[in-house]
A and B are shown apart, each in its own frame.
Chain A
Amino acid sequence: MNAMGIIFASDREVKLNELTIHRTTASLPFGGRYRLIDFALSNFVNSGITRIGIIAKNNYNSLMDHIRMGRDWDLNRKNSGIMVFPPFVRATSQEVYKGKIEALYTNLSYIKEAKEDYVFIVNSNIAANIDFEAAVEKMEEKQADLLVFTARMTYANSRRAIISTDENDRITDVLFSDAFNGEEHLVGINAYVIRRDLLCFLIETAYARSLVDWEKDVLQAQYKNMHMLSYEIKEHVAMIDDIKSYFKASMDLLDKNVREELFHKNGNVLTKVKDSSPTTYGENAVIKNSLIADGCVIDGVVENSILFRGVKVGKGAHISNSIVMEHADIGEGAKLSYVITDKKVTVSPNCSLSGFATYPIVIVKGKTV
């Protein structure tokens, strides 16, 4: 396809606290075996986009380990393929980039040297299965300068762009406010497609004026001057920018229709293959409405929960409404309710942990309770 992709591995708008101490948003585990970036990568690959740059900023070890050469996404190509841009300090400013504008400016030569006419710019905190090819078709048909991907959501916070449009999807207003929380609005999902020459021009002029914030200094400031359209995604979109939205987006996966849309709709979601053995259920296992990845050994009770790869659940343990990430060891008789355990957490036998739907407890990576 006549487009390339840029993925931002982390964005300062995302507040995931304990879950991103050790990693970028892009490598946040999601849905039992995926990392958030898998959705962006798979959308690109499934839409025929193979030139993909990933701009990393901090804590990107886990990301590099996940991506490696891009083989699991069929992106280990001789021409195009995947490129990871670690942050580098510019001689003039003596610090790493502050916002998307500076980051894109730093890597502008990569974009300029590409031969595709369109550039997708996406954050990695979106789990959605989007046909990007259809978006480019719409862009060509409408002769648009820029397409802002949007979705209808009721949850608003000060970091989400609320978009107004006219009947032709042309953007008529962009605002950032949590005052609209609870009402349904069209929200920008931090994904854009833009003509490549226009992007280069916008970034160069914005950088020259010391502007930092792509959303505020370009989108909000320029929507009147450009033919900027909203491209609404009607399928399931999970926008993960805090613990609450992470928990809800995860639990939504227990709905079969959501899984169907998210994992299969426009192509399967690809991820790193780890060669775990299939999951083994013991004599005392009781499982209800749960999503369970490979490599688990389960002899306890699991309900309304998501278990990642290689989780051990001891006899008599009871896990409900929880997210248990890779290689957790839940001891015999332990009880978890509304808990998110990060990777390699050990919960000692008979230990009991309980949070609330609106405020799940997060256990940091590698800790023992």
Chain B
Amino acid sequence: MITHKKECVAMLLAGGQGTRLGVLTRDVAKPAVPFGGKYRIIDFTLSNCINSGIDTIGVLTQYQPFELNNYIGNGQPWDLDRINGGVFVLPPYVRGKTGEWYKGTANAIYQNIKFVDNYNPDYVLVLSGDHIYKMDYDKMLDAHKAENADCTIAVIDVPLEEASRFGIMKTEDGGNRITEFFEKPKNPVSTKASMGIYIFNWKMLREYLIADEEDKNSDNDFGKNIIPRMLGDGKRMYAYGFSGYWKDVGTIHSLWQANMDLLDSNSGINLADGKWKIYARNNAFPPHHIGESACVKKSIISEGGDINGDVSESVIFQNVTVKKGAVVEHSVIMPGVVIEEGAKVHHAIIAQNTIIGRDSVIGGELTSEDDITVIGANACIPDGTEIEKGVMLEGR
């Protein structure tokens, strides 16, 4: 295969099972979960790539890949349908007699060394497909080159009490060189958390991946194995500070919260900013209609909808019907949902094509993070049903 050299190739890890999202990831991989009225979670990372000038992306998938593969397709919505480069979905495959699932994040890249080698890149950008943020990777690459680094890790300041959920970096005084790295430390020494975004010099990473694969005791994970080993070998590892909006949407509450953040103009994420557009695969639907009896406040509403009830502080996806007398508050209503007359939905996530029957009451006030109510896709909630807050209901 003859290909042109690329300076930087992105490898997007989209193979996480997303078990904490429960019914929302029963049939789709986490990166394909709908977000923000007309997007999927992965749109943010893909759009960041193309907006940063990176046009060669491998998407590593293995759980429920069908919908994600279908969604990415030829990459056209992100302008990634290229003759040289573009987006590639890379599932694990059988080699000779062996063949195996991706054992860890590092192993996923290891299994695709040939793919990366095709483009003979100087750098590889490793990303994850389950974060909501807008970031210019090109600036990070500039920093990587300026520091003459072997590896650069994007970091964000997190509250100290949350730091133990992340990989935490300690850097030299007055500089960005990483001196210590702790994966999910019990007693964090710093608040610089890894965002799971790495730039490596490909030649070096390639050697480490091969060595890591030979180590039978390794978990084949970037955070647990590759990064500590490089640090131990005295490689030039740098932190790249990012200060914009960034959210890991791995849990129901964080997914709900990230949707709610879109309604707050001070949250730091602005989808309407034309300078850094987020692209998505979309069909053309007619504009939404807001009827005589509707009352819409502080909400985001997408195309094709038919709104005749009260909607406040909610994110409404395409083709949602909210009938007269229905009330939707602080909720995320995914594509094709129908909320029948008189139904009330509070602090809930309703997945695709579910029908909420007349006068049903879904969810309630939020007193803890566990109080978000979730209804899976294609469910049919009978008229007059009451579903308590915090319940997670399987779809069909």
- Given A277-B37, A278-B36, A297-B272, the answer on whether A307 and B287 have CB atoms closer than 8 Å is yes
Chain A residue at minimum C-beta to C-beta distance from B317: A278
A91 to chain B, nearest CB (A): 39
Q: Mark B254-271, 1 if CB is under 8 A from A, else 0.
A: 000000000100000001
B287 touches A277 (CB 8 A): no
Q: Number of contacting residues on A, CB 8 A? A: 38
CA separation between A295 and B270, bound complex, in Å?
A: 12
B288 touches A275 (CB 8 A): no
> Which A residues lie within 8 Å of B26 (CB)?
none
Q: How many A-B residue pairs have CB under 8 A?
A: 103
Asked if B330 is at the interface (CB within 8 A of a chain A CB), the reply is no
A278 touches B286 (CB 8 A): no
Chain B residue at minimum C-beta to C-beta distance from A297: B272
Chain B interface bracket (under 10, 10 to 19, 20 to 34, 35 or more): 35 or more
Asked if B297 is at the interface (CB within 8 A of a chain A CB), the reply is yes
A306-330: which residues lie under 8 A (CB-CB) from chain B?
306-308
Asked if A202 is at the interface (CB within 8 A of a chain B CB), the reply is no
> Which B residues lie within 8 Å of A273 (CB)?
77, 282, 284
Stretch in A100-108, A188-196, A285-293, A340-348 touching the partner: A285-293
Stretch in B8-16, B193-201, B298-306 touching the partner: B298-306
A279 touches B301 (CB 8 A): yes
Asked if A333 is at the interface (CB within 8 A of a chain B CB), the reply is no
Chain A residue at minimum C-beta to C-beta distance from B284: A271
CA separation between A319 and B316, bound complex, in Å?
A: 23
* Dominant secondary structure of chain A at its interface with chain B: loop
B292 touches A32 (CB 8 A): no
Chain B residue at minimum C-beta to C-beta distance from A72: B284
Asked if A116 is at the interface (CB within 8 A of a chain B CB), the reply is no
Asked if B244 is at the interface (CB within 8 A of a chain A CB), the reply is no
A278 touches B271 (CB 8 A): yes
B306 touches A294 (CB 8 A): no
> Which B residues lie within 8 Å of A277 (CB)?
36-38, 271-272, 278
Chain B residue at minimum C-beta to C-beta distance from A279: B301
> Which A residues lie within 8 Å of B37 (CB)?
277-278
Asked if A254 is at the interface (CB within 8 A of a chain B CB), the reply is yes
A247-270: which residues lie under 8 A (CB-CB) from chain B?
254, 256, 259, 263, 268-270
Asked if B19 is at the interface (CB within 8 A of a chain A CB), the reply is no
A-side interface residues toward B, CB under 8 Å? 31-33, 71-72, 254, 256, 259, 263, 268-273, 275, 277-283, 285-295, 297, 306-308
B-side interface residues toward A, CB under 8 Å? 36-38, 76-77, 263, 271-272, 277-280, 282-292, 294-303, 306, 315-316
Enumerate the 4 nearest inter-chain pairs by beta-carbon distance, A residue then B residue, closest first: A278-B37, A32-B287, A277-B271, A293-B287
Contacts A273-B77, A278-B36, A288-B290 known; 19 new A-B pairs at CB < 8 A: A33-B286, A72-B284, A259-B289, A263-B286, A268-B283, A275-B77, A275-B282, A277-B278, A278-B38, A278-B303, A278-B315, A287-B290, A289-B292, A291-B286, A291-B287, A291-B289, A292-B287, A292-B289, A306-B287
